[in-house]
């Protein structure tokens, strides 16, 4: 009998940790944490990037702040269902899915969340997309080495579009704004601007829809990558994003958008340049076109880069407008720092979780608790120095438009 007990004890001690708890493996626990943290990131992406769609529309008074973020939330949710091309790029085109573990993905998400919160606090419209990609790269390099990063994919799908997109958007917005102001030069300014406020409702809605098609998909790709790494999802030619992942990510980014990232809305809508309705309409139309095109081709483009470039270009294109280049330089500095900062943070988080063991859920659970506590204190600090929606409006909306030539 004693030999039987000894044999059973040895079997229990030598049994893989992933199979000790009634079919719930350690891998499943870590994947669950990854999904939760990924949805938290998607939520921060929502309120961090609300400014991309609605900053200029709110600033010109085309929509009231709360109405604007409500519309953006609905359209972000809808946009997430239009395509999954970007999600496939993130899941298979940035890092080697076979070398990635769920703990690496967890660390990458933490790096992205931390950078999102830091830049939000300082009102810098940085890229949530690049924070996520940088976090993933940093964690994978720390855990599997640089060879697990697909350099060609990062260069062609991330770096090159990051350089070209804001410049392209800025140049096209400059030209579009100049053309618009030339077309309305024979009209009274106040009457013309009332008309373009209505046009801004449509153009900003297109940006919000485009944002959903691009940004929500990145989190879908990361969750899918975690499911592939844990063996819950096939990563081959028949890869597809599960419906529950699509719905969850769409809901998270929509809720975050509805919260309204007023700090960044204030920077993008009032500090880069004073935005007037014709100018805002031009920049929004250009941004929506570039973002939707990138989503079609599967590029995980930074919508923040595109919108910031378009707003700056429209400021240059409007007669008599001034661009605060010190704010623009601050924004560009944030862009440059995003990939390495999120990557370094993710690498540190991975090393911390690795102390508890590669297959242990203790490290990710401890980091999740620490993050939750830090978010609570950040929320308390924000309540003490909160930016109110009314602070991001340059001018109040006026009655419905009637466009008439001067002198008629």
- Nearest CA-CA partner of 206 in 299, 82, 59, 297: 82
Q: Is residue 7 part of a domain?
A: no
- Asked whether the beta carbons of 90 and 6 are under 8 A apart, the reply is no
Q: Is residue 407 part of a domain?
A: no
Q: Is residue 236 part of a domain?
A: yes
- Nearest CA-CA partner of 238 in 372, 392, 92: 92
Q: Which domain holds residue 200?
A: 28-392
Residues 156-170 have a mean pLDDT of 87
- Position 132 pLDDT exceeds 70: yes
- Position 406 pLDDT exceeds 70: no
Instruction: Give the least confident one: 195-199, 233-237, 387-391, 393-397.
Output: 393-397
Q: Is residue 360 part of a domain?
A: yes
| Structure confidence by residue, pLDDT tens digits, 74-111 | 999 998 888 666 666 666 678 887 888 889 999 999 99
Choose between 239 and 314: higher pLDDT.
Answer: 314
pLDDT-derived band at 319 (thresholds 50, 70, 90) equals confident
Q: Is residue 401 part of a domain?
A: no
- Across all residues in the chain, what is the average pLDDT? 82
Q: In the chain, what percentage of residues exceed pLDDT 90?
A: 30
- Nearest CA-CA partner of 218 in 336, 90, 347: 90
Q: Is residue 320 part of a domain?
A: yes
| Structure confidence by residue, pLDDT tens digits, 333-368 | 999 999 999 999 999 999 999 998 877 889 999 999
- Asked whether the beta carbons of 86 and 295 are under 8 A apart, the reply is yes
- Position 12 pLDDT exceeds 70: no
| Structure confidence by residue, pLDDT tens digits, 374-383 | 999 988 888 8
pLDDT at 347: 96
pLDDT at 228: 83
Q: Is residue 1 part of a domain?
A: no
Q: Is residue 174 part of a domain?
A: yes
pLDDT at 261: 80
- Position 385 pLDDT exceeds 90: no
User: Would you say the pTM of this structure is higher than 0.85?
Assistant: no
pLDDT at 92: 66
Number of domains the chain contains? 1
Please state, in angstroms and rounded to a whole number, the distance separating the CA atoms of residues 224 and 91. Answer: 6
Please state, in angstroms and rounded to a whole number, the distance separating the CA atoms of residues 138 and 142. Answer: 6
| Structure confidence by residue, pLDDT tens digits, 290-308 | 888 877 777 767 888 888 8
Residues 47-60 have a mean pLDDT of 84
């Amino acid at each position: 009998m004693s030999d039987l007990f000894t044999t059973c004890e040895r079997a229990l001690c030598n049994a893989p940790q992933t199979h000790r708890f009634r079919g719930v493996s350690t891998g499943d626990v870590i994947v669950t944490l990854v999904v939760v943290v990924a949805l938290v990131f998607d939520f921060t992406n929502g309120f961090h990037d609300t400014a991309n769609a609605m900053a200029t529309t709110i600033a010109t008074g085309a929509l009231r702040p709360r109405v604007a973020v409500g519309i953006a939330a609905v359209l972000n949710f809808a946009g997430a269902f239009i395509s999954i091309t970007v999600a496939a790029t993130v899941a298979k085109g940035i890092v080697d899915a076979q070398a990635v573990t769920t703990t690496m993905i967890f660390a990458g998400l933490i790096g992205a969340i931390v950078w999102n919160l830091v830049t939000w606090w300082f009102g810098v419209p940085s890229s949530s997309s690049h924070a996520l990609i940088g976090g993933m790269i940093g964690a994978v390099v720390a855990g599997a080495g640089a060879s697990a990063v697909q350099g060609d994919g990062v260069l062609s799908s991330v770096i090159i579009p990051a350089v070209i997109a804001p410049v392209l958007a800025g140049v096209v917005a400059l030209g579009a704004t100049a053309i618009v102001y030339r077309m309305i030069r024979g009209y009274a300014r106040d009457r013309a601007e009332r008309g373009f406020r209505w046009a801004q409702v449509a153009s900003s809605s297109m940006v919000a829809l485009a944002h959903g098609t691009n940004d929500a998909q990145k989190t879908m790709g990361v969750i899918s990558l975690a499911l592939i790494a844990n063996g819950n999802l096939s990563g081959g030619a028949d890869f597809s994003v599960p419906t529950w992942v699509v719905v969850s990510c769409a809901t998270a980014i929509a809720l975050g958008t509805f919260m309204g990232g007023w700090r960044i809305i204030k920077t993008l809508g009032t500090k880069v340049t004073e935005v007037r309705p014709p100018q805002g309409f031009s920049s929004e139309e250009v941004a929506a076109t570039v973002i939707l095109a990138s989503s079609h081709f599967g590029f995980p483009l930074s919508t923040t880069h595109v919108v910031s470039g378009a707003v700056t270009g429209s400021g240059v294109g409007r007669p008599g407008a001034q661009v605060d280049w010190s704010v623009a330089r601050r924004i560009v500095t944030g862009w440059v720092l995003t990939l390495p900062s999120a990557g370094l943070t993710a690498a540190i988080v991975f090393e911390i979780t690795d102390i508890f063991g590669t297959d242990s859920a203790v490290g990710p659970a401890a980091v999740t608790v620490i993050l939750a506590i830090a978010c609570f204190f950040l929320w308390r600090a924000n309540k003490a120095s909160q930016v109110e929606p009314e602070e991001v409006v340059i001018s109040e909306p006026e009655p419905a438009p009637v466009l008439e030539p001067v002198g008629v």
